[in-house]
Amino acid sequence: MVRDNGWTEEQAQVLLDCLNLSGSVPNWKPEHLQRLHDWCSARRKNYQTIEAQLEFVHTTVGMALKQATTREAARSAVGRYVKTLQR
């Protein structure tokens, strides 16, 4: 999944850490969980997998994350996005 999105291992790890993605239901606001569920259903993906969650997130934060060249820049790019998702 990491290579498919063009992310480095470090960029993907920052995203996993910031969003607390662990292969279960993320601790996101209900409206964002519904968007994830709907997006995955339309693509016949299991919304509880890290791969599906990363692919979904890529549609919104992926480009900013790919431009990050350091861990700090990646955290900054993801930080704004995380605040909108999490409860």
Q: How many domains does the chain have?
A: 1
Q: From first to last of its 87 residues, what are the pLDDT tens digits of the chain?
A: 555 667 777 777 777 787 777 778 888 889 989 999 999 999 999 999 888 888 888 777 777 777 888 888 888 887 878 788 877
The pTM of this model reads: 0.70
Full residue range of the structural domain in which residue 55 is found: 2-85
* DSSP secondary structure letters along 62-78: HHHHHT--SHHHHHHHH
Using left for φ > 0, alpha for ψ between -120 and 50, and beta otherwise, residue 26 falls in: beta
